[in-house]
Amino acid sequence: MDLNHPIFKFTEDPGFNTSSEKLPEKSPLNFDLLCSRNNDELFLVTQRSIRTCNVHSSRYKLLQLSEPIGFEPVKALLNNSGTLMALYGAKNLMLVSLPTSEAVSSTADGMLYAKSQVVGNFNSTDICKVLFNEVSKAESNVVVLASDGCILSFDINLSSETPFHIFHLNEKVNRNGLGYGDTLNATSISFGSSVNAVGSLSLYVNTEIGDVYTIFPFFPNLLSVPLSFLEQLIDQTIGFAKGRPESIEAFVQLKLVSQMLKNTEKYPVEFKINKRTGLIEKHYVIPVKIDLINSMELQGPLIISEFPDELYAEDGIDICHISSLDQVILVSSWSNGSILVMRQQTDLCMKWRSKNIRNEIGSNNSSKLTVITHFKTQCKCLMFPSFNSVLIKDRNYHLLTVDDGEPKLSKLQNMSGSSFSDTVLGVTQLTGFADSNKAIILTKRAVEFVTLPTSVVVAPSLNILGRQVSKPVEKLIATVRENSLINMPFHEVYCFLKSIKQKNVEHLQTVSVGSFVSDEATLMEMQKFGDKMLHRIFALNKLSLMLLHRLALQQKEFKNQIRDYMKTKEKLNSHAAALRYMFIQYSNRLRRMKSRCSPIQSSLTALLCSLESSTRKSLPISAAEKAFFKELNLIKAKVVSREKGIQSQLKFLVNQIDYLQMKLQAYSKHKSNANASILIPTVKEVLASHRSLEFNSWKDMKERLIRNEQKSRETRQLLSKQLRLVNEKLAVLDLHESI
């Protein structure tokens, strides 16, 4: 990776007005504040802010924390899954929930929101070291070594203020080790190999006199392990129990591990990504009883065989591990710059505190550490910083690996250079290595990087056990060189505006900007403002060019419109002359028409008067019209007489019907059949005076009545039609007479 990336660009502290010429020529880069995730993402803590970027991107983003960093961090580390970052100083600890890889790699705005929270209260003590417990649920357990000799375990899912367990190291005990005293002055802690079951549950404690203790097992409140972990642990436990059949601790350990393996189907599960294989593994979340956690016991000091005599007078500084699948390899640093690589010969046995009475430390301790490598560096009081493998540009470095069960030093790459026996100038933990999660890089000289812009970022000196170390604690740093700020957008805007106003610069007055704090958030806002200013200036320039072009087009169009207007004006003038000529002609014709209409009007008036004085009777009619009216009057008289006769017949028939109904009702009261025969002659007598009615039965009489009614209806319809025709002819005659 090119470390000229913008994520490594810092600004000076004195203020915004300070020129780059006044900055120091070289600035150190603290790798303890640089973390990597997935070998392609970087997180850099600087100026109380967190930057992040993808190594393949040319820009970085700033994390906007829910709770700002209120202290100067000296160390930053990530958990194994890369979801949490721990920042700590001498008396402060903060956890930050990191954004996803998709958010870091996105091309969105350069500000990402992240949740942060302060963990614990360390006002009365100092923080020596912080670790993540990788076998806890979601890797959310944080283990803190304090200067008062306490190991505090926090679970942020339960509480970020109060630890769920405190392990006191500085109790009065009898110790068998390299020195004697009443307390354990612990300087560092480290878990064993994360790929080894025993190593993951073992917490190693390095003391000031160089003794190494261990707490096995060191349980979180919720243990999260895959099935292969439990199987490996049960195999190691069975092998340990077979070698010590009389050991009560081995029996208790076998019973505990067997119970965990037996009840796996009852435990909830979570899924994690295996860093070695890249596959998703199923982890069982096993709750650990608080009584079991409170019974954890300190074992040691572990016997160190082949211990160098020159280290008896030196102080132990730091301890870490090298990932190994089947064994535990520890690396410790000393105050004179010595590096001690040790391997644990035998597996540990779980030990517990019985009835709140601690067993004598050092008793029944059969495990020991064997020194396999001892070399000396030129760095005093060496700590182990960590950085990503993509940052290494040095061609002369070595990697401590394990081959055929025996650790040995071998080169990471086939490069020309001297052997390991040469002087070693630096040691660091490497993350993101393809073959293991963590290794030790032994460098022959300071790692050389590409140039970085100027910065003033120096980590404060490390305070161990509440007292200042007499010898300075050296960090692995990168030599950087000064770089111009011409690449900054706001600087380009400034130069651009300066070139514009250069002619009037003598009229400008100098105004002090005061105390400008060049923190990360302000610089990010300035960079955003500079980007917007550049885009706006270019947009305004483009807009001005477009307006000029449009103005030229409008000028041309305006000229064309003026020419068209002149042509139209000429046409309108010619049309106006033609209209004036036509108006004169029409005026003359109108006067002539008025003179001719006057006699016509007078003759029409006289005719109207004569028509009004005449009547209809004075108008003669023809002989045909007379004959027509005569015939029409005859038809009208016949129709009227016929209608009267029909109406009289209908009235007579109705009276006869009424009389017959009355007779029928009178005779219906008698039941004899003889009465029916009397009815017919009676009816004949009644009708003899006008017209004879002959019918053989009541049915014939009813049919005749119906036929007569139909005939009368047809007659009425015919008469109505004839009357309608007569009325129409009369209307025509009236109209003719009126004319």
Give residue-wise pLDDT tens across range 27-37: 456 778 888 88
Q: 349, 371, 393 — which closes off a domain?
A: 371
| Structural domain boundaries enclosing 168 | 130-146+163-371
Is it the case that residue 300 has pLDDT exceeding 70?
Answer: yes
Tell me if 412 is assigned to some domain: no
Q: Compare 688 and 169 and report the one with higher pLDDT.
A: 169
pLDDT of residue 230 exceeding 70, the answer is yes
> Structurally, how many domains does the chain consist of?
2
pLDDT at 706 exceeding the cut of 60: yes
- According to the model, what pLDDT value does residue 306 have? 86
- Looking only at the bridges linking them, the beta strands covering 269-273 and 280-287 are antiparallel
Q: Is residue 56 part of a domain?
A: no
**Residue 244 is which amino acid?**
R
Stretch (H or E) spanning 495: helix 489-500
- For residue 671, is pLDDT > 50? no
CA 210 to chain centre: 51
Q: Take residue 232 and report the two structure tokens written for it.
A: 């490996």
Domain-embedded: residue 157: no
Q: At what angle do helices 520-613 and 489-500 cross, to 10 degrees?
A: 70
Measured CA to CA, the distance from residue 4 to residue 53 in angstroms comes to 13
174 pLDDT above the threshold of 60: no
Nearest-angstrom CA–CA distance, 340 and 159 = 38
pLDDT higher for 7 or 460? Answer: 7
Q: Write down the pLDDT at residue 224.
A: 92
Specify the pLDDT at position 205: 94
* Residue 9 clears pLDDT 90, i.e. is over it: no
Structural domain contains residue 221: yes
pLDDT digits (tens, 9 = 90+) for 602-656: 888 888 887 777 655 555 667 887 888 888 888 888 888 878 888 887 788 778 7
Q: Does residue 618 belong to any structural domain of this protein?
A: no
Spatial CA neighbour of 424 closest among 344, 481, 341: 341
Mean pLDDT of 306-318: 89
Band of residue 399 on the pLDDT scale cut at 50, 70, 90: low
Examine the fold and report which residue of 325, 351, 371 is the final residue of a domain before the chain moves on. 371
Answer for the pair 206, 311: CB distance below 8 angstroms, yes or no.
no
pLDDT of residue 688: 52
* Cα–Cα distance, 9 to 454 (Å, whole number): 7
Of 344, 371, 398, which marks where a domain is finished? Answer: 371
pLDDT at position 607 = 83
Q: What is the largest CA-CA distance in the chain?
A: 175
Confidence of residue 172 (pLDDT cuts 50, 70, 90): very low
What is the helix (H) or strand (E) element at residue 711, kind and residue range? Answer: helix 698-738
Sheet holding 49-54, edge to edge: 34-37, 41-46, 49-54, 61-65, 111-118, 93-97, 84-88, 75-78
Spatial contact of 438 and 389, defined as CB atoms under 8 Å apart:
no
Report yes or no on 353 lying in a domain. Answer: yes
pLDDT of residue 605: 85
Name the band, by pLDDT with cuts 50, 70 and 90, for residue 222: very high
Per-residue tokens: 428: 């660091």
DSSP 79-110: -TTSSEEEEE-SS-EEEEEPPPHHHHHS-S-S
Q: How confident is the model at residue 431 (pLDDT cuts 50, 70, 90)?
A: low
407 cis-preceded (ω within 30 degrees of 0):
no
Span 195-221, average pLDDT? 90
Percent of the chain surpassing pLDDT 90: 18
Does the pLDDT at position 1 exceed 50? Answer: yes
Mean pLDDT confidence for 192-221: 89
* 486 within domain boundaries: no
294 vs 437: CA distance, rounded Å: 31
SS3 293: helix
Q: pLDDT at position 617, please?
A: 53
pLDDT of residue 479: 34
> Is residue 85 situated within a structural domain?
no
Q: How confident is the model at residue 381 (pLDDT cuts 50, 70, 90)?
A: low
